[in-house]
Structure formats: C-alpha cells, structure tokens
Homo-oligomer: A and B are copies of this chain.
Amino acid sequence: MARKPKQQRSKATVDAIVEAALIAIARQGPSATTARQVADIAGIGVGSLYEYFEDKDAIFNAAGARFVDDTVAMIKPLIPELVRMNIRDAVSKLLFTFRDFLEENNQIYLKCARHAFSQDMVMHQEPINRALMDLFTQYLMHHPELLRMPNIPAVAYFYINGGIFTVIRHLSEEKPTQSFEELTMVFGDFLASYAEHKLGASNATQ
C-alpha cells in the first residue's frame, strides 16, 4: 500500500488507475464508483489498486490532482497574452479557453467537474487559485492605473470565486438556463464597470 512505482511497468499501472478513475468519475461520480470498477476499467486486479494508493479516496485525490495540474498548465501560458488585453477581452479569452480545455477528451474533465466541483477535489484546487491570482496580479502590473481601485483583495476574491469558478460551475450544469457567452460577457462587464466606476469621477464609497 502506497508504494512508489520502481519499474516502468508499474508507472503505467498507476497511470492507468488514475485514467480509469477519471473515466469512472465522469460516468457516475465518485460516490457511485466502486474500487472494482476502477480496477476493471484500468484492466488490472482490485488488489493492485492498493499497491499504490492508500485507499479509494487517495485514488480520487490523485485524479483530482491530475485535473488541477492540467488546468494550471492550461492557464499559465495564457497569462502573458491576457495581461495585454482589456478586461472584457481578457475575461472572454480566459473563459473560452477554459471551456475548450474542459471539452477535450470526450468532456471527461467537464463531466468530472460536475461531480468534482462538489467533492473534496475542491480542497486541492488551491494551485488553480494561485494561477488565477497570479494572472490577476500580473494584470494589475500591466495596468497600474487599476491599483487605485479600493479593496483589491476582495475584488480578486470575487474575480476568482464569484466570476471564473461561477462560470465554470455553470458549464457543468445539466440544463443551463443561461448561455455561456452571455454569462462571460456580463462577468467581464461587472469587472470592467467596477474598475471604471471606481477610477472615474469621484469615489462614492470607500
């Protein structure tokens, strides 16, 4: 249990397990997934699961970690491009790219997100948070006038949790009542309006 893979063969096994977990989660969600199912999808015996993972949860965590890593890898290279855009375009570009990323691989990630944004996969989402915060910070660097906005930390919190994550969560809804494009636009408008309002004229509230 919880061994480190030494040979090439076993590395492939670990990978197969993580892949299988993602597929199973996408299909039925974590709680409905049995250890035997994961083993079957991975094409290995049940016992093998426990050679590399403490327990079933550890497998799901590894799957979550893979998702988080891939997400961060998707966001990071976008940053240089985004910081040069205006707020609305940057928001659009980021969210559209995010959506495309979730649609890859038969929507595996999108379907996972449906369950995963619930589960404790969220607990390990911190790196995504950091990547988004990084984008936010660098954006401010390239638009120093925005530093005059009040409550920047709270704005950052809303941009990440109230904005990006809300739209992503919306993507994984079954019967969306809103269009993704419209939400994206409104979110960009919220941010831009706030910035313009706070930077223009007088500041009514502090």
Contacts and interface: CB of A to CB of B under 8 A. Distances in A.
Interface of A: 88, 118-120, 122, 151, 153-155, 157-158, 161-163, 166, 169-170, 177-179, 182-183, 185-187, 189-190, 193-194, 196-198, 205
A119 B183 CA distance: 25
A157 B182 CA distance: 11
A185 B118 CA distance: 27
A183 B197 contact: no
B182 A154 contact: yes
A122 B185 CA distance: 26
A149 to B, nearest CB: 10
A178 B154 contact: yes
A21 to B, nearest CB: 17
Contact of A153 (B154, B177, B196): B177
Given A161-B166, A161-B169, A162-B163, A185 B154 contact: yes
